Structure 1
Amino acid sequence: MLALTSIWTTILLAAAVALGPLAVDMYLPALPQIGADFHTGTDQVQLTLSLYLAGFALAQLICGPLADRFGRKPIMVGGFLLFALASVGCALATNIETLQLSRFLQALGGSAGPVLGRAIVRDIYTPRDAAKILALLASIMALAPAVAPTLGGLMVAGFSWHWIFIAMGGYALLMAAVTAFGIPEPLPPSHRQPLRPRQLFANYRRISTDASFLGYTLTNAAIYGGLFAFLSGASFVLIDVLGVKPEHFGLYFASMVAGYIAGNLGSIRLARYLSPDQILLYGLITSLVGGAAMALLAYQHVHSPWAVMIPQAIFMAGTGLALPQCMAGALANFPTMAGSASALFGFIQMTAAAIAGALVGALHNGTPLVMATIIALCAGLAMIAYLLLAQRYPAKAFETPNASV
């Protein structure tokens, strides 16, 4: 077993948590081919993503309290095993309905990694340190979406989309073993919560009425909605509308990931000089600039892959700055119920993502316009949530005598 504060623990934890983005990003190049194979429309294919996000959101409300009661490791391992079984179901699907159901089951297992990864960081570190560790963890995790679309595109071109889900299942089994044998249990017995319905609802009521939690969580949910609006529409816009080949999709996608990594690394460096809330504000401004630029180019009928990807890279740089601060700020006030707080945080985040993704699929009009508009609106909503709530009710652990906002 590794020490909890070891960099190798952070790397292993990032690899385990990366299963969440991997399950989304790896099959994005296959969406048009899945629609063709099952003779169904864009909205039904996109529903495999929205159902995954919905299942992901709901499952977090369950696995968070379970982890607060029984510990982080057994829930994470069980989630990875369920994800692996559901991946087999996806690979063997013979119609769109079976694939949609299997994707929903995949999400139930896949939710354990991200929600408990955040909780583990809160278990180990103080809120201010947690913001830096979450940024580092996110930078490592970003390798998954950087590589996954390229691998998925190569599998679609060279084999079939079914192999994407087989690869996902194998990765989940590997992460189950890594979690079981490589990462110590971080939750001390003194912090374990009773698993009684009345206590559970009391915990969620306390968390959901905390103004600071709501501010950071709603800010995060809006910016995350913009991210998933892109994920939901990118393959159709780039491949079907702008003519990018599936095997090249990952190369374009990598520019977005590069922006995100730059934001994460910038967050770590800026933490030496600025308060988390200052970094969050700069991130939101950057995302708003990127989203507005993409929408403006789309309204001007500038139809080029780079008219989408350059603004999205700017949006993602801002997202990389903002998300670690939102995560750490939302969990700062709940050291003894970090699992439940992380679960509610993730539920709201993924609900917003599912809504944004569903809107892109339902309103897609054969141009980049719908996707770009929703991304810009999400960036605007994130800024509003920050100004109305997070800025007025900052996390107490984020406050420093010398910080000025």
Structure 2
Amino acid sequence: MNLHQGGGTTSAPLMSERKVSLIGAMLVAIGPVSMALYTPAMTEIVHAFGTTEAAVKMTLSTYFAGFAIAQLFCGPLSDAFGRRPVVIGFMGIYAIASLIALFSPTIEILILSRFLQGIGAAAGVAVSRAIVRDLFTREQSARIMNLIGVILSIGPAVSPTIGGLMMELAGWHSIFFLMLGFGFLITMVAKFAMVETAPNRDPSRASPKGLYKAYSTLFRMPYFIGTAFIMAGTSGALYTQATVMPFVLMDRVGLSPTQFGLGMLVQSGTFFVGTLTVHFLMKRVKSGQLVPVGLSFIAIGSISLLLILNTMEPSFLRVMLPSATFAFGIAFVMPFMMTASMAPFPHMAGSASALTGFTQMSAGLLGGVICALIGDPVVAMSFVVPGMGAMAVTSWLLWRRLPEPAQRVS
């Protein structure tokens, strides 16, 4: 299924592919890095606040909630007022939230600060994808999405390791100090290195009527909804695993926070290898041809989790190898599907990117809630993650039969 070439100018883009890839990766990474840095400290925070695992899990759930909800607003805001001011404003919220988390006196304040962190980090995903759509289309866009994935995979890959080491050396507070620095760095990049790319900025797009028009247009298009569900079932599964994996590997398998951080390199490293593989293959085949390959790996990982965790005691390899296979497949799926989700909407790319991101994070939030309701983290992981993989495969089988819509210009 080919994507339409945007009907724009042939002049040089405002920013190069490399610059967009680097800035886009930084913007996208702030969300998962803020999650991955934090996960090794979750069991320690239970003891630090004298609270329960359920309460500490809420710090992740509320982060997902803030991230998901805020995307519905920061995307249209970037269409209305521009990409740069939205990034700067939301990164300010993220930095303030990190400061509150650093000095949280109670678990309730920490939960609130994580919710605000999610709100601030939300702009990164929505705006970065919109910038790519502003400047590039077709295989060029998919190639940049892949390059963003290559760079992005490094941050979450090393973040659990860094988080585990920092927690053991300087306590869990040091993790939020590092997040504060990240927020300041991205704000400076947005202010001094990012070029405004939003076409035809119109403040009316941020009005209730403008929001309704944008989202009602997207919701009426099965083509768009299909892309959103495919990505929700893939990356949403990773977010779900982030809420349950620490309790599987540290409480049930017996890893220390540092061992857990190092162990997560297997999953993140496999995703990194996948993105490099896709980067190599995209020079020879179109990105859309790689999607069924990736979904095959996702299916293998899902079935393996379902069978292994329901028939054997969990061990590091029994958990991580299926999870790594799943992550490897995601790298094949995301570049094309992210490009496809925004291709028909050049003048409301922020809204399309935001709604896609909302479905991804909402899937992760819903998966985490279901895992919490199940209670047993091993049982939860063995059913919820494979279920999301099945949703992604099924959605793609239905979506691939849909005609590609004409490009919308208003």
* TM category, shorter: over 0.9
Partner of 1:126: 137
What is the match of residue 403 of structure 1? none
Of stretches 171-180 and 265-274 in structure 1, the one that deviates more from structure 2 is: 265-274
How far has the Cα of 1:397 moved from its partner?
Answer: 8.8
8 A Cα contact 1:226 1:356, kept in partner? yes
Letter in 1 for 2:382: A
Partner of 1:139: 150
Per-residue CA distance 1:61-105 (angstroms, 9 max, x = gap): 111111001110110011111100000111111221111111111
Provide the rounded CA distance (Å) in 2 between the counterparts of 1:181 and 1:397. Answer: 36
Which one-letter code corresponds to 2:402 in the other structure?
Y
Amino acid at match of 1:248: Q
Distance 1:121 1:191, change over 3 A: farther
- In 2, the alpha carbon distance for the partners of 1:394 and 1:380 equals 23
Picking from 360, 372, 385, the partner of 1:375 is 385
Map 1:11-160 → 2, pairs under 5 A: 11-160=22-171
Q: Partners of 1:88 and 1:372 in 2: how far apart?
A: 36
- Tell me the C-alpha RMSD between the 2 structures: 1.9
CA distance 1:165–1:307, shift in 2 (3 Å): same
CA 1:379/1:6 → structure 2, altered by over 3 Å: closer, same or farther? closer
The one-letter code of the counterpart of 1:372 is S
* Structure 2: distance between partners of 1:42 and 1:293: 27
CA distance in 2, matches of 1:75, 1:219: 27
1:402 corresponds in structure 2 to none
User: Residue 215 of structure 2 aligns to which amino acid in structure 1?
Assistant: Y
Tell me whether 10-19 or 307-316 shows the greater mean CA deviation. Answer: 10-19
2:237 to 226, 231, 234: 226
Normalised by the length of structure 2, the TM-score is: 0.92
Aligned partner of 2:308 among 297, 317, 325: 297
**Residues 81 and 201 of structure 2 are in contact (CA less than 8 Å); yes or no, is this contact kept in structure 1?**
no
How many residue pairs match? The answer is 395
Instruction: Quote how far apart the aligned CAs of 1:277 are.
Output: 3.3
Give the CA deviation at 1:15. Answer: 1.9
User: Which residue identity is paired with 2:108?
Assistant: E
> Counterpart of 2:264 in 1: which secondary structure?
helix
- Give the 3-state SS of the residue equivalent to 1:336 in structure 2: helix
- Extract unaligned runs of 5+ from structure 2: 1-12
Runs of 4+ with deviation above 6 angstroms = 190-193
Pairing of 1:167-178 with structure 2 (within 5 A): 167-178=178-189
- Once residues 191 and 271 of structure 1 are traced to their aligned partners in structure 2, the CA distance between those partners, rounded to angstroms, is 36
Shift of 1:258: 1.4
Gaps in structure 1 of 5+ consecutive residues:
399-405
Q: Does residue 387 of structure 1 match 2:384?
A: no
In structure 2, distance between residues paired with 1:213 and 1:81: 31
Distance in 2 separating the partners of 1:96 and 1:181: 37
Write out per-residue CA displacement over residues 322-372 of structure 1, whole angstroms, 9 at most, x where no aligned residue. Answer: 12222111111101110011111111111111011122233232x523213
Between the aligned partners of 1:158 and 1:397, the Cα distance in structure 2 is 56
| Alignment CA distance shift 1:226-1:301 (3 Å) | same
Deviations 1:157-211 (A, max 9, x none): 1121111011101111011001110111112347886433223211111111112
